[in-house]
């Protein structure tokens, strides 16, 4: 039994193995055969429908959807850790595919906790019926992202996307940027400033928005350095009307979104870990078969030292990830701190693992058709996803020392 399998339930081991088989038999062969496809500028043509259909067949596309609606419910005592186990395996095949899937899981958890019954019945049904159905969570804006989360809870830090109450509903105007699944999702959770007179935490509301809502435009697909099989999008809302029953949370949307944010940090770290595991697997095979200087690479001391460093960093990330995931499942008091710690730690450590992988492949590490540089690009993205490195550090200290850290200095003169 490997370290990754230790202390897992039988259900978790079976799910891990199903995902690993899917990745080894379907995902990795597709990526290796079609390495050019990642670079097509027609986002619809990047990932074939068969890949998501394969995820559907092994039952991982609709995790988090209540069983009564046809989804697969996980043990609530270990749900977040199970999310981490599965997302690690999928990201070992491709982190962009993992991004596509985990947005469905996280938004499904949000909807089962916040959406009214009739909307759950309507949208979970559609999610189950269509293997290509994707969900998106729309928070980041062009002029405000993770920097909002220092947090200075004041009106000037509020979102610029505005929601104004009208008869029978709300009119929303604004723009969202860097939205995972934003280009090709079918259903969106949109956050907007509904009360500009108060702080962000008291004046932000969330809404459920179908893709075909009048006034809603998917402006473009953001062409990213890595994770390119997830189509990141920019969204525009122009006098978009949302009926009252599509309001999820009024004013306290950010406070209620912890069911999305905390598992999200764990899943982010686990996807990152999957990229590191793949980098180590491919590199360890390479250095045990490639000959340089008359001997296989692994017999050179410099190579062995780098490989040991990679393995150690991976195990350190896994250990902190397990602890943080358990804290979230237990709703422990230190869950927020540990979530941010593991997201930060994984992004920095796995980046170093990927750098070692490229170096140990020599010139081949820079060749697009060899596949190792892709892992470096994917790892680099995690330094900026779900909060930047520096913002994550500020959030850790803010959570540890809430009475003194990051005090608001007042508006600019």
Encode pLDDT of 335-363 as tens digits: 999 999 999 999 999 999 999 999 999 99
For residues 161 and 191, is the Cβ–Cβ distance under 8 A?
yes
Return the number of other C-beta atoms located less than 10 Å from residue 337's C-beta: 18
Report field, pTM of the whole predicted structure over 0.85? yes
How far apart are alpha carbons 27 and 38 in whole angstroms? 13
pLDDT at residue 411 in the model: 64
pLDDT the model gives residue 143 = 80
Q: Which CATH architecture has domain 3-132?
A: Orthogonal Bundle (1.10)
Domain ranges of the chain: 3-132, 136-253, 256-400
Token output for 403: 């009475």
In CATH, the architecture of 256-400 is: Up-down Bundle (1.20)
List the CATH code of the domain at 136-253: 2.40.110.10
Kindly calculate the radius of gyration of the chain based on its CA atoms and give it in whole angstroms.
22
Q: What is the DSSP string of 57-98?
A: HTT-TTBTS-GGGT-B---TTSHHHHHHHHHHHHHHH-HHHH
Confidence (pLDDT) at 91: 98
How far apart (Å, rounded) are the C-alpha atoms in residues 404 and 409?
A: 12
Residues (pLDDT < 50) of the chain are 1
| Buried/exposed 9-26: b ≥16 CB within 10 Å, e otherwise | eeebeebbebbbebbeeb
Q: What is the pLDDT of residue 407?
A: 66
* Matching residue, tokens 């930060």: 344
Distance between terminal CA atoms of the chain?
Answer: 62
Residues of the chain with pLDDT > 90: what percent? 86
CA distance 189 to 135: 8
CB atoms within 10 A of CB 408: 13
């Amino acid at each position: 039994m490997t370290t990754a399998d230790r202390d897992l339930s039988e259900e978790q081991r079976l799910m891990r193995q199903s995902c690993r088989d899917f990745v080894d038999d379907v995902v990795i062969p597709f990526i290796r055969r079609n390495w050019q496809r990642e670079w097509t500028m027609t986002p619809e043509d990047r990932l074939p429908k068969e890949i998501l259909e394969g995820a559907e067949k092994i039952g991982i596309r609709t995790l988090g959807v209540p069983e009564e609606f046809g989804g697969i419910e996980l043990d609530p005592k270990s749900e977040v850790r199970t999310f981490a186990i599965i997302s690690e395996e999928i990201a070992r095949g491709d982190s962009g595919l993992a991004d596509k899937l985990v947005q469905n899981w996280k938004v499904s958890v949000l909807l089962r906790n916040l959406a009214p019954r009739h909307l759950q019945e309507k949208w979970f049904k559609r999610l189950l019926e269509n293997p290509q159905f994707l969900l998106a969570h729309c928070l980041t804006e062009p002029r405000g992202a993770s920097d909002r989360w220092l947090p200075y809870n004041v009106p000037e830090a509020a979102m610029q996307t505005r929601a104004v109450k009208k008869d029978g509903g709300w009119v929303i105007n604004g723009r969202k940027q860097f939205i995972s699944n934003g280009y090709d999702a079918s259903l969106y959770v949109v956050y907007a400033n509904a009360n500009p007179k108060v702080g962000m935490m008291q004046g932000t509301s969330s809404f459920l928005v179908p893709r075909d809502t009048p006034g809603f435009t998917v402006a473009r697909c953001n062409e990213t350095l890595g994770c390119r099989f997830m189509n990141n999008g920019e969204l525009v809302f122009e006098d978009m009307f949302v009926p009252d029953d599509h309001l999820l949370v009024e004013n306290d949307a950010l406070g209620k979104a912890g069911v999305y944010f905390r598992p999200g940090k764990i899943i982010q770290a686990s996807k990152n870990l999957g990229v590191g595991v793949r980098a180590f697997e491919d590199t360890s095979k390479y250095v045990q078969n490639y000959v340089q200087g008359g001997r296989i690479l692994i017999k050179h001391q410099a190579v062995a030292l780098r490989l040991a460093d990679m393995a150690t960093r991976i195990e350190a990330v896994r250990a902190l990830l397990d602890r943080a995931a358990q804290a979230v499942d237990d709703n422990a008091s230190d869950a927020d701190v540990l979530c941010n710690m593991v997201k930060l730690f994984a992004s920095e450590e796995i980046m170093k693992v990927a750098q070692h992988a490229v170096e140990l492949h020599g010139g081949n590490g820079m060749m697009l058709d060899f596949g190792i540089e892709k892992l470096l690009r994917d790892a680099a993205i995690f330094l900026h996803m779900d909060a930047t490195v520096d913002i994550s550090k500020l959030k850790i200290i803010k959570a540890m020392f809430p009475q003194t850290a990051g005090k608001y200095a007042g508006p600019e003169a």
